[in-house]
Amino acid sequence: GENVEQHPSTLSVQEGDSAVIKCTYSDSASNYFPWYKQELGKGPQLIIDIRSNVGEKKDQRIAVTLNKTAKHFSLHITETQPEDSAVYFCAAADNYGQNFVFGPGTRLSVLP
Amino acid sequence: DTEVTQTPKHLVMGMTNKKSLKCEQHMGHRAMYWYKQKAKKPPELMFVYSYEKLSINESVPSRFSPECPNSSLLNLHLHALQPEDSALYLCASSQDGSATEAFFGQGTRLTVV
């Protein structure tokens, strides 16, 4: 089955700096890669996603890149703000949702 | 309305109790999911309903029993749970069973005593 690794497990950045979180996956059949943000006491919130026919996608301060050959994808957050502090999960799934697997998560702290 | 609503938000139950968790969405999604999340861990898939039929059961113990009365509602019936079942139980929905653009509820924090 699919295995998703995520690094780093914790990340601290100064407000205004950029943050990058990287994930790798094992199943070449995976073709959908969402990123979720989970704040304390809340459910995961989809913040951006990418499909295998696209190499990069951007939404304001958030961007995701995908390298399908190398089986890795990354989340980039620019101009970080304290409200970006949360746990971020990457995930990978195939077209049938049979292998929707989360990475272990990254705890991002943005220091004012 | 892009909301998945879960009730109750918190639940404390004894090991001999029977209780149910409820989940509701009105986005017209035809797939609904139950996940279990332990502290500092990612969500783990338990069940998937696609078009009101159970399509995935990730080898979940029978003390957890899902039910999908209609396309908007998803229940999780709990019976004879163990303390190690204490966790955050998350419901999610997506347009179809492909798990794309899944929306999560806020979860039910379950404590088994």
| A49 within 8 A of A33, measured Cβ to Cβ | yes
Q: Report which DSSP code applies to A82.
A: G
B101 touches chain A (CB under 8 A): yes
Please determine, for residue A98, whether its predicted confidence score (pLDDT) is greater than 60. Answer: no
Query: In 3D, which of A36, A35, A22, A28 has the Cα closest to residue A52?
Result: A28
Q: Strand A106-111 to strand A10-14: parallel, antiparallel, or no bridges (unpaired)?
A: parallel
Question: Which chain B residues are Cβ-neighbours of A104 within 8 angstroms?
Answer: 41-42
Give the ranges where A27-82 is alpha helix by DSSP (H).
none
Reported as a single tens digit per residue, the pLDDT across A19-75 is 999 999 999 889 999 999 999 989 999 999 998 888 999 999 999 999 999 999 999
Residue B69, pLDDT score:
95
pLDDT of residue B2: 64
What pLDDT shows up at residue B99? 60
Query: What is the pLDDT at residue B24?
Result: 98
Q: Are strands A45-51 and B87-94 parallel, antiparallel or unpaired?
A: unpaired
Q: Which residues of A are less than 8 Å from B106 in CB distance?
A: 41-43
Helices then strands, each counted (H, E), chain B: 0, 11
What pLDDT is recorded for position A54? 80
B83 three-class SS: helix
Per-residue model confidence (pLDDT) at position B96: 80
Is residue B1 scored above 80 in pLDDT?
no
Contacts (Cβ under 8 Å, ≥6 apart) of B21 = B6, B7, B8, B11, B75, B76, B78, B89, B91, B108, B110
Q: pLDDT tier at A79 (50, 70, 90 boundaries)?
A: very high
| pLDDT computed for residue A100 by the predictor | 77
- Rounded-to-integer distance, Cα A26 and Cα B100, Å: 19
pLDDT(B98) > 90:
no
Question: Which A-chain residues 71-110 have CB contacts (< 8 A) with chain B?
Answer: 89, 93, 95-98, 100, 102-105
Interface probe, candidates A27, A95, A100, A101, chain B, greatest B C-beta count within 10 A: A100
Alpha-carbon distance B20 to nearest alpha carbon in chain A (angstroms) = 19
Indicate if the pLDDT at residue B108 is higher than 60.
yes
Tokens coding B57? 């059961």
Averaged pLDDT for residues A9-25? 98
pLDDT at A93 over 90: no
Tokens of B83: 């303390």
Average pLDDT over residues B34-53: 94
Kindly determine whether residue B42 and residue A93, on different chains, have CB atoms separated by under 8 Å. no
What average pLDDT does chain B have? 93
Min Cα separation B51/chain A (Å):
14
- In angstroms, rounded to a whole number, what is the distance separating the alpha carbons of residues B43 and B4? 16
> What is the model's pLDDT at position B100?
76
